[in-house]
A and B are shown apart, each in its own frame.
Chain A
Amino acid sequence: MRRGVWIGIMILMLAVGGAGMALAADVRGVTDTEITIGQWGPQTGPAALWGAVARGTDLYFKMINEEGGINGRKIKYVLRDDGYNPAKTKAIAKEFVENIGVFAVVGGVGTGPGMAVRDYLTENKVPWVGPSTGSSHFTRPTNPYIFGVYPLYKDEAYLLTKYAYENKGKKIAFFYQNDDYGKEGLEGAEIALKELGGALVAKVSVEVPDTDLSSHALKLKESGADVVIMWLLPKHAAIILGESAKLGYKPQWISSNTLSDAPVMMNITKGLWAGVITSMFGDLPNEDTPLMKKYREAHQKMAASERWGSFYYAGIIWAEPLVESLKMAGKDVTTEKVLTSLETMNKWRGIGPPLTYTKDEHQGAKSVKISQVLENGDVKPLSDWLQITK
């Protein structure tokens, strides 16, 4: 009797499975009227702050569709929540390829989740534009299907450290999250200082689940650094600024672009964030370039309840080159055409960094902007796009 139920379940699953099998199309995810593009992003859980990226992409695609789509096709956008859990990301990637059938993947927050699906997506020949991470695991060595739009953490740390050493002070400490994200930043900083003939006065790491950072702050203070470079989660950055203030320690704080959402940071640090120098992976949110204005208007019109923060429009930055290459590929879209049109881009710009792709170099972005947070929460540029010379 008990097994009768099992069999019932199995039959049900078989029925569902049979119905779910997609019809084979010529190009996966492309019909006469639609192109399907997918993205995962943490909408829940500890990294949900960066979930805005995937929703920003949604705004951009809605805008493109409203303008008439790409060569007569509308974009069908599939957004899935992976909660920053690589097992779920893998399930989503499988669903994208085998169940929904996506033409390409765009963005996708996180190094861990991205690594879980990188090889799988490549095996299935899914173009993936703009992994939302600066880790070098995606474009080093060159992967034929992955195109980086995010400046590498290593390059970014190199540029920031050099800037700090030349302009802010020689005693530099590095405070980082103890994983690849933090360690790649640390590596870049160490390379820069070695070239300049200096060394870090302290390296302090923090674990992702930690909340109480009073002993970390004390270590930074004891090192006597004038400049502290942070490679952290927003939560940890806010806490360390608070704890340092409690100790009366006020160095020049410098941070990676993962903390470039100045209004949020100003808010959660209760104003301590003012004066912090951050790098940016795109134009500043209040900049008056024509494209930026257009996006801001679209945001007001279609998604006013969302906040116009740097992570939200990051979703636009990652998707811009993909849309551009789809336009270039013409009416008969194929994966190869999109890849080759991406590879012709030379110093192409949307609102992100200038992008140059060649057949052997898929890390398109090699520059960051440096900016400083003002007392009122706005940011002022300290530099134009700084390129790493290599």
Chain B
Amino acid sequence: MLSQLIVGGLAIGSCYALISLAMVIIYKTSEVLNFSQGEMAMLATFVSFYLLADKGLPFWLAAILTLAFALLLGVVVEIVFLRTAKNPNVLGLIVITLGLEMILYGVAGWRWGPDQQAMPFPIGNTEIYTVGSVTFSRISLWVFSLALGLMAALGLFFKYTRLGVAMKATQQNHLAARIMGIRTKRILSFTWALSSLVGTVAGMLIASSYPLDVNMMMDPMMKAFAGGVLGGMVSLPGAAVGALSIGVIENLFGGYVSLEFKSVVAFAIIVLVLCVRPSGLFARHYVKKV
């Protein structure tokens, strides 16, 4: 039972981890806490559903088009909603993303209605492998390895590509980056696009094993946010580890202690951790200077 619970926790935790990474990418660069991350992914996932189910496109083509849509959505959101705000404060930015969340939710709900849908996915969820007493489903393996692969790719991207380094530079110091000839505005748009892309992959993976509806990303996004905070919100590996451990801890708690309080245990842990380390496990707490 223990190993089975851990396997289940890792499968869902890797979806949390992707959303969490998406949020951290944006937060690191622009200090915007993006509450609409989940709904952006949800809308894009519905687009892929539309391409697959209504237009009958093959999966690979639909996936590429969806990811393109996700990139576009990220750029549009950044340009239309965030760039236009005149010197907003942190709270204003939070409210913009909350408002955006309602708008995206409304649009998807209006277009696709309240009925739950099933995302056509090339891998069925009934194919399973048994190793000892532990059962793996093929889809969970795919989810897990895709998520890991994407995380590794992100790590390499930030380390070795010019664009990635430019993004890191912008994160560390806007002004210095601009002086060094980096087009920081363009970098910001690109940050949103990248984050939207990562979130959308998570959305599609979640839709592969859960019913697709407008509410599907709410719970995962909260958990991902919790995971990101646990890891420190500014560290990519931290966010991934935080979100994965949220998935595992939740499952273990549900399996051994209480199913009833399974969904709040994440938040209790967060509060405890934050009492000891106010900036999360993996981020250095810096003391502000005046």
Contact = CB atoms under 8 A, between A and B. Distances in A.
Interface of A: 43-46, 48-49, 51, 178, 204-207, 209-212, 214-216, 218-219, 222, 234-235, 238-239, 242-243, 245-248, 264, 267-270, 272, 307
A207 B135 contact: no
A268 B219 CA distance: 19
B1 to A, nearest CB: 6
Given A235-B116, A246-B139, A268 B211 contact: yes
A48 B1 contact: no
A209 B223 CA distance: 12
Given A49-B115, A248-B135, A214 B260 contact: no
Q: Which 6 A-B pairs have the closest CB atoms?
A: A214-B8, A48-B114, A246-B137, A215-B254, A268-B211, A211-B219
Nearest to A306: B113
A44 B109 contact: yes
B76 interface: no
B72 to A, nearest CB: 27
A264 B116 contact: yes
Nearest to B140: A246
Nearest to A261: B115
B125 A264 contact: no
B211 A238 contact: yes
Contact of A46 (B117, B124, B212, B215): B215
Interface centre among B4, B126, B247 (most CB of A within 10 A): B126
A215 B125 contact: no
B137 to A, nearest CB: 4
Contacts of A246: 125-126, 128, 135, 137, 139-140, 209
A45 B251 CA distance: 27
A218 B6 CA distance: 12
A269 B115 contact: no
A242 B209 contact: yes
B114 A51 contact: yes
Nearest to B125: A242
Contacts of B4: 218, 247
B213 interface: yes
B260 A267 contact: no
A245 B125 contact: yes
A248 B128 contact: yes
Interface string B100-130: 0000000001000111111000001110101
Given A214-B12, A307-B115, 14 more contacts: A44-B109, A45-B215, A218-B255, A235-B210, A235-B211, A235-B213, A242-B125, A246-B125, A248-B128, A264-B116, A267-B116, A268-B117, A269-B118, A272-B126
A218 B215 CA distance: 25
B259 A218 contact: no
A209 B259 contact: no
Nearest to A211: B219
Given A264-B115, A264-B116, A206 B259 contact: yes
Contacts of B255: 215, 218-219
